[in-house]
Structure 1
Amino acid sequence: MENDNNVKHRLNMLGGIGYNINRIIGAGIFNPDSIWILVQSPGIALVLFVVCGIISLLGSSIYIELGIRALPKGIGEQKYITDAFPGWRNVGHIFSFVVIFIILPGAIVADSYSSAQYLLYVFRGYFKNDYDYMAVIVSVLILLFITLYHVYSTIISDITNQGLALIKIISLLIISIVGLVRLSGADSTNWRNVFNKSFNAGVYELGAYGNGIIQILFAYEGWNNINYLVEELNEPKAVSLKYSSIISVFISILLYFSINAAFITVIGNNITNNIPIALRFGNELLGRNGEILMSILVAISAFGSVSAKVFIYARIIKYAAETNFIPMKSHWFINYNQTFNTLANQLWAQFVYFLKSRLGDIKEFSIPKQIIMIYILIIILIILASLFPPEYGNYDYLIPYFISWVATILGIIIWYFRNSRCKVNQNDGSEDGQNDEPNGQAYELNIDEIKQIDEILEN
């Protein structure tokens, strides 16, 4: 081990692609039901999947530049926010608060529950509409199993995550090929009415499209996965970060497009919320055996997404601890376990919470400022469109936004009061008065490094 804070193993470009795809491709790719129902048109949903894929690609390009600028140290948004607002002490901890306590736990619990539901469907043949206690128990066992192999061995977790990503890609390609084969037969007629919709143009259509885009972007969520693993990338890190991100997003766009096209070919414009699309697709092809096969694939896909999230979650906790995000207890979550060489403390902490380099000679990656402005403008337009109700008198769609804003505001309040106290103590050498750098140590730049940063900013 290089030191207490570094792990022995390193990820190459293919490893980065695997983690990104394993995170992006979850249960949602097999079940675009909510999107089809929301926009009332499989054809429009297919277009939105492509549009959102392009938006994700733009976001990934921006994150590549942010990640390279943060090298050799830095884990995602906390580092980027801190660098963007150097005068605002520990402002990146607002992100850490929201992602550690709200975003990732919610996503992990949801995916593990989906995996449990589809696994149980294989044996029961039905979904329970009310609260499913058996699915809850199975989802907890799934989380425990994933946590155990991540705690035991990083090599095992790497092999598992890469293997699951490969299984997903192969399965989705086979399904897509089946769709193409069926397209050449009688099922080609299913494409005739895929752009027909049952509601008139107006404010509710705008709201449906806005909220549909939000849901699809959430399905693509994970394109920045590799930005949380920069410390574990092979040298040169900039190359691994760049190509892992871009290639994984391209692959994901192709898979989302092809799988939706296959579903349209077999199912057509038959929109219903009674039976998931994946099961209807399997039933059309192979009857009950097809349903079982698709259920297993959805369960595996959701399981893989949980596994990737757990792997990333531990790294985010580690980096947050290195910057003293957790007062007095940060030292518990900084180092790798000496026995297993894994982030055991971080992994067990997140499981319990569920239950209650240098750039070297590599040329800098930079994207035009116009692309950044276009991306920001697109995000603003999506946010505005999502505020319109998708259905008359229905305001349930506002609940996730309300939770997100409440969590963010709470994080800001905690950050403000904590750092106000830090300002009082910053001259007495106490832990809370340290800078927002790993292990509380400020990074001192020499003249050559300052010149390099100036050249990057000028470019």
Structure 2
Amino acid sequence: MGTETAAPPQPVVLPRVLGPVAALCVVVGSVIGSGIFLVPAGVANDVPFLGGIIAVWVIGGVFTTAGALTLAELGAMMPQAGGPYVYLREAYGKLPAFLFGWSELTVSRAGSMATLAAAFSRYFVQVVHPPAFISNEQVWQACAACSAIAVVTLINILGTRGGGGLQVVGTALKVGGVLSLIALPFVMGGGSVGNLAPVMPTRVDASIFTGIMAAMVGVLWAYDGWMNVTPLAEEIREPEKNIPRAMVFGMSALVAIYLAMTLAYHYVLPMAEIAAADEPEGGITKAVAAVYCKTLLGPSGVMAISMLVMCSTFISLNGNALTGPRSYFAMARDGLLPAWFDRVHPRFQTPANAILSQAIWAIGLTVLGTVLILVPPPSNSALPGFLTSAWTVLNKTPLYDILLTYVIFGANVFYLLAITSVFVLRRTRPELHRPYKTWGYPITPLIFVVASLVLLGDMLRNEQSRMQALVGGGLILLGIPAYYLLRRKPTAAESAA
């Protein structure tokens, strides 16, 4: 009786269950989170004239749109789970690709979830006050943030269709809410053209460039999420068509909405009042969106905007829970993470373990950020001076702001590498079918590359943001030893495949 050779194991493939509307809503719904409700105050504080404010939002929009148009080529060409991880693997090899996935888990994606959850909780505490046994509002905010992460994690473990459906419904609700805010002053008659002044600065000097660069960090956070559809490429029907369309239409809509919302804020509120809304001591009732609604609707406006931002950030949280884990799943499928990460739930057909891992670290970041706020640095400590100084600064910084720069620095390092992979793959893999090619190539990706380098350099130069950026960068570098420790040797069957 002859021996039979066992067939090599087939790689696990995720089912294509998402259509074009879901793909578009992943782009739009992931991007519109907390940023447009909070960031305009910081922009007005850094760039106190309307012309510069519009320029910052336009530049940020052009920058991210250039990246989206470039990434669409890669997503249509290689519609596999993991998105940028796949492109970096094909262009630069396994180690840079691993570092991207490592960065997603430890810095960018989990950090985005923690940042969004922090924004969610800032508004949540205005609607649901802490119970009697929780006297500290920061603790109550942390509980709300962790609970929000847990809920979206459960939804996405239970099914990709459920997570995608929530993204569609939630995106429709929050886009409708933002459009209502934009229309509000014209319906209520509460704005004035005089509030748009000053349009230009009273003097031109180096401080304008410094302010624009500082404002750009917040603006890019407001636009962050434009990459989110590509990790889902394996689960999108007709990805060669639906990924480029989602990127192009999604970014066009987002830039228009953000500009209109910013102009509406300035039409209703004087420049000084918007800039004052950047003060953390004022609480969420002093946030620019809350001041805007209170001016037009009275005290009930604060409750209305709290509900809208809670909905908006929750849907953005869902977008991150839906998309990020696909990178860890793809890494494990390539043998770069333990096999635990690429296990698909037998009933729900989702990468449940990867989704859960991301949520655990996001909750850990939330708890750590809260501890830094609640626990002051020891007065007599053996800690190095720079660590004590950094702890002192973080102790006085809101959780949302602690996480913001930490996320943006790490994310942009790998956004930059992912975009440059289009140059490499056009040279090394010209035979690959490209159903969509980047508009304006090579100028379009070069715009993104140059802007990324300027932004990263400025973040390292700026003392206020340097520590969070270096912490994020340090975690990325820890991925080098992690690569050699975590990758697993292929089995005999896998080697035969």
Q: TM tier, shorter chain?
A: 0.7 to 0.9
- In structure 1, the residue matched to 2:437 is 365
1:26-82 Cα deviation digits (max 9, x unpaired): 0111122222212233542232111111111110111111223324x3522221112
Amino acid at match of 1:397: S
5+ residue gaps in structure 1?
390-394, 423-430, 444-459
Q: Which residue of 2 aligns with 1:142?
A: 148
User: 1:178, 1:97 → 2: CA distance?
Assistant: 43
| Cα gap change, 1:294 to 1:69, in 2 (>3 Å) | same
Q: Say whether 1:432 aligns with 2:492.
A: no
Q: Which residue of 2 aligns with 1:239?
A: 241
Q: 1:195 to 1:288 in 2, by over 3 A?
A: farther
Letter in structure 1 aligned against 2:471: I
Relative to the length of structure 1, the TM-score reads 0.81
Q: Contact 1:322–1:440 at 8 Å: present in 2 too?
A: no
1:147 to partner: Cα distance: 1.6
Distance 1:37 1:442, change over 3 A: farther
Cα shift at 1:240: 0.7
For 1:397, the equivalent position in structure 2 comes to: 465
What residue identity is the alignment partner of 1:409? L
What are the residue-to-residue correspondences of 1:347-366 with 2, within 5 Å? Answer: 347-356=355-364, 363-366=435-438
Residues paired across the two proteins, number: 408
Offset of 1:11 from its aligned partner?
1.5
- Structure-1 residue corresponding to 2:315: 304
Could you say what secondary structure the match of 1:219 adopts? helix
- Cross-structure match for 2:75: 67
CA shift, 1:118, in A, is 0.3
- Partner secondary structure for residue 148 of structure 1: helix
Q: How does 1:149-160 map to 2 (within 5 A)?
A: 149-160=155-166
Question: In the aligned structure 1, how far is the partner of 2:471 from the partner of 2:261?
Answer: 32
Percent of matched pairs sharing the same residue = 17
| Conserved 8 A contact 1:33-1:277 | yes
Alignment of 1:121-132 (within 5 A): 121-124=126-129, 132=138
Q: CA deviation at 1:116?
A: 1.7
The alignment status of 1:337 with 2:371, answered yes or no, reads: no
1:345–1:412 distance in 2 versus 1, CA, 3 Å: closer
- 1:325 paired residue among 336, 344, 349: 336
User: For residues 91 and 360 of structure 1, what CA distance do their matches in structure 2 show?
Assistant: 21
Q: CA deviation at 1:143?
A: 1.6
Please name the residue that 2:222 is paired with.
219
* Equivalent residue number for residue 298 of structure 2: 287
Alignment equivalent of 1:258, drawn from 252, 257, 260: 260
Offset of 1:253 from its aligned partner? 0.6
Distance 1:93 1:442 in 2: 23
Would you say 1:38 and 2:49 are equivalent positions?
no
In the alignment, is the contact (CA less than 8 A) between 2:191 and 2:269 conserved in 1?
A: no
Task: State yes or no: 1:376 paired with 2:379.
Answer: no
Any conservation in 2 of the 1:207–1:387 contact (CA below 8 Å)?
no
Q: Is the 2:185–2:296 contact (alpha carbons within 8 Å) kept by the matching residues of 1?
A: no
Note if contact 2:64-2:448 (Cα within 8 Å) is conserved in structure 1: no
Q: Which residue of 2 aligns with 1:95?
A: 100
- Aligned pair in 2 of structure 1 residues 9, 380: CA closer, same or farther (>3 Å)? closer
Shift of 1:398: 1.4
User: Equivalent of 2:33, from 20, 23, 26?
Assistant: 26
Q: CA deviation at 1:400?
A: 2.6
Instruction: Give the Cα separation in 1 of the matches to 2:97 and 2:15.
Output: 28
Residue 192 (structure 2) aligns with:
187
Looking at structure 1, the residues matched to 449 and 433 of structure 2 have their Cα atoms a distance apart, in angstroms, of 31
Q: Distance in 1 between matches of 2:28 and 2:55?
A: 21
Give the deviation of 1:189 after TM superposition: 1.7
Q: Say whether residues 1:177 and 2:245 are aligned partners.
A: no
Residues in 1 aligned to 2:65 and 2:231: alpha-carbon distance in whole angstroms: 17
Return the offset for 1:163: 0.8
Q: How far, CA to CA, are the matches of 1:154 and 1:370 in structure 2?
A: 36
**Distance in 2 separating the partners of 1:19 and 1:6:** 21
CA-to-partner distance for each residue in 1:285-333, whole Å, 9 max, x for gaps?
Answer: 111101100111111111111111011122122112111222xx32x22
1:104 Cα offset (Å): 1.3
Aligned to 2:175, the other structure's residue is in SS state helix
Match of 1:409 in 2: 477
Alignment match, 1:80: 87
| Residue 442 to residue 70, structure 1, CA distance change in 2 (3 Å) | farther
Aligned pair in 2 of structure 1 residues 57, 441: CA closer, same or farther (>3 Å)?
Answer: farther
Matched, 1:114 2:119: yes
Structure 1 Cα separation of the partners of residues 342 and 148 of structure 2:
26
Tell me the equivalent position of 1:425: none
> Partners in 2 of 1:265 and 1:157 — Cα distance?
37
Question: Aligned Cα RMSD in Å?
Answer: 3.0
Write the distance in 1 (CA, Å) between the matches of 2:190 and 2:115.
Answer: 38
> Which residue number in structure 2 is paired with residue 451 of structure 1?
none
Contact 1:4–1:336 (CA<8 Å) still a contact in 2?
no
Rounded Cα–Cα distance in structure 2 between residues aligned with 1:216 and 1:374: 17
Q: Describe the shift of the 1:142–1:385 C-alpha distance in structure 2 as closer, same or farther (beyond 3 A).
A: closer
Superposition deviation, residue 180 in structure 1: 4.4
1:446 maps to: none
Unaligned runs of 5+ in 2: 1-9, 365-430
Q: Which of 230, 237, 241 is the aligned partner of 2:233?
A: 230
1:191 deviates by 1.5
Q: Which residue of 2 aligns with 1:457?
A: none
* Contact 1:22–1:304 (CA under 8 A) maintained in structure 2: yes
Distance in 1 between the 2:489 and 2:15 partners? 31
CA–CA distance in 2 between the matches of 1:178 and 1:258? 12
One-letter identity of the residue aligned with 1:140: C
Taking the aligned partners of 2:62 and 2:31, their CA distance within structure 1 comes to 14
